[in-house]
Amino acid sequence: MIEMKVAGIALEAATRSPIVLLRDSTERRQLPIYIGQDQARAIISALEGQTPPRPLTHDLIVNIFDEMELALERVVIHSLQDSTFYAILTVRQGETRKEIDARPSDAIAIALRTRSPIWVMEEVIADASVPVDRDADEAERQAFRDFLNDLRPSDFTQKGKSKSSES
């Protein structure tokens, strides 16, 4: 799993649909997830630290967690099936842990309010992420190619005596 942070909300150019952008700690990979308008507003308000005069849905869920002494340990976006992302909330109450199915957008909105980590399975990253810095990616690929080109069979032989010749 790879921990991701919310980089922000973007709008898809053609449809103006909101997209939440998750970015890895190296800021080299970004995972775009299409979300609804309401979830976009909820995520933006959490990012900006806005507190509504009355609790909205995600605030209500956090309040329920607090009253029930539930702690959100993490959010995990665990799969992508037919262009739909799936997530779970891992909550703890005392020694008991439970996993609750959630839409990624709702899970992210709650995670931001509770300052809980957001994790994404590596398979999901491999299938759906986009590079943020193509030049850095290409430079890294070229450096690896150069490394491979400079390797010689002698680089893999052990210097000195082997254990079998010591007996």
What pLDDT digit, counting tens, does each position of 11-48 carry?
A: 988 888 999 999 998 888 899 999 999 999 999 999 99
The half-sphere exposure of 16 on its side-chain side, counting CA atoms within 13 A, is 1
Cα 32 to Cα 34: distance, rounded to the nearest angstrom: 7
Residue in 88, 77, 90 with CA at minimum distance from that of residue 129: 77
Cα 129 to Cα 23: distance, rounded to the nearest angstrom: 9
Domains, the chain, ordered by start: 2-56+64-138 (3.10.690.10)
Residue 24 near residue 119, CB atoms below 8 Å: no
Does the pLDDT value for residue 141 go beyond 70? no
| Reported pTM | 0.77
